[in-house]
């Protein structure tokens, strides 16, 4: 049972490059989320999705794009990476609107040079 | 002011001792409350939900004080394996969007 996976686990890129972080879950959960975690800020929501083809902005969406063409996948794209986007990115999912628990992937550590 | 605030610690705790810490939240409309645990360089995992009447899960007890807008976590008989960062998490409704505190680091020492 793979659960929720993220790839790549580590990524180094350069300023201005496009980067896509992948998130895949095997539970058929309706909701998926992308967070970034930085020292001094904790986890902050970037984007979330309630179902396939439904996405909405979180607290810090600028510079990011998401899509959800299939329920199980929720890729996050940095269109033109900046140094301030160096962070640890976590994907999460949960099943129903009333369900409380979000399950997190292992994270992607991104370094933008 | 941050929406969810926690003392970052670290709380240095002798093995077997009791440790307690709080977090405060600013949005009075918050309806769901949780403690998540995060080990170093790992993903957060749900430790327990927090209910109005307070709840206990083994050595862990969580309390909610809506009037003063804070939640607390108490760990009894601390184990070395309890060393982690504890994240206070607050949701507005049905837990769809959660706001995380910065975390309280706990170090349990022999």
3-class secondary structure, A84: helix
How many Å apart are CA A13 and CA A24, to the nearest integer? 22
**Among A42, A44, A104, beta carbon nearest to B103:** A42
Chain A residue with minimal CA distance to B85? A42
Question: Chain A contacts of B39, Cβ < 8 Å?
Answer: none
Beta carbons of A99 and B101 less than 8 Å apart: no
B 24-83 residues with CB below 8 A of A? 32, 34, 41-46, 49
Low-confidence ranges of chain A (pLDDT < 50): none
> What secondary structure letter does DSSP report for A2?
-
- Across-strand partners of B64? B71
B92 interfacial to chain A (CB closer than 8 Å): no
- Long-range CB pairs of B59-67 (<8 Å, 24+ gap) are B60/B35, B62/B33, B62/B35, B64/B33
A 38-77 residues with CB below 8 A of B? 40-45, 48, 50, 58
B107 interfacial to chain A (CB closer than 8 Å): no
Question: What pLDDT was estimated at residue B58?
Answer: 96
Question: What pLDDT was estimated at residue A41?
Answer: 80
Question: What pLDDT was estimated at residue B51?
Answer: 86
Q: Which of A93, A102, A107, A108 to mutate to test the interface with B (most CBs of B within 10 A)?
A: A102
**Among A41, A98, A107, beta carbon nearest to B43:** A107
Per-residue pLDDT of chain B (110 residues; tens, 9 = 90+): 789 999 999 999 999 999 999 999 998 888 889 999 999 989 999 999 998 888 999 999 999 999 999 999 999 999 999 999 999 999 876 557 889 999 999 999 99
Question: What pLDDT was estimated at residue B94?
Answer: 56
A113 interfacial to chain B (CB closer than 8 Å): no
How many Å apart are CA B71 and CA A108, to the nearest integer? 30
Question: What pLDDT was estimated at residue A42?
Answer: 85
How many CB pairs (< 8 A) connect A and B?
49
For B67, residues 6+ apart whose C-beta sits below 8 A from its C-beta are none
* C-alpha distance from A74 to closest chain B C-alpha (Å): 16
Question: What pLDDT was estimated at residue B87?
Answer: 96
How many Å apart are CA A41 and CA A34, to the nearest integer? 15
């Amino acid at each position: 049972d793979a659960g929720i996976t993220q790839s790549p686990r580590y990524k180094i890129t350069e300023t201005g490059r496009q980067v896509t972080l992948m998130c895949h879950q095997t539970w058929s959960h309706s909701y998926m989320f992308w967070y970034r975690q930085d020292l001094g800020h904790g986890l902050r929501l970037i984007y979330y999705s309630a179902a396939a083809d439904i996405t909405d902005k979180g607290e810090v969406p600028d510079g990011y794009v998401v899509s959800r063409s299939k329920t199980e996948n929720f890729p996050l794209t940095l269109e033109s990476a900046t140094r301030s986007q160096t962070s640890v990115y976590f994907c999460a999912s949960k099943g129903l609107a009333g369900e409380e628990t979000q399950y997190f992937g292992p994270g992607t550590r991104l370094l933008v040079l | 002011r941050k929406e969810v605030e926690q003392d970052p610690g670290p709380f240095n705790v002798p093995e077997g001792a009791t440790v307690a810490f709080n977090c405060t939240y600013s949005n009075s409309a918050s309806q769901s409350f949780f403690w998540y645990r995060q080990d170093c360089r790992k993903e957060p995992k749900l430790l327990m939900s927090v209910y109005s009447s307070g709840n206990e899960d083994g050595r862990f007890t969580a309390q909610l004080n809506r009037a003063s807008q804070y939640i607390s976590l108490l760990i009894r008989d601390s184990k070395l394996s309890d060393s982690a960062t504890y994240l206070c998490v607050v949701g507005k409704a049905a837990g769809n969007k959660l706001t995380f505190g910065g975390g309280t680091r706990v170090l349990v020492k022999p």
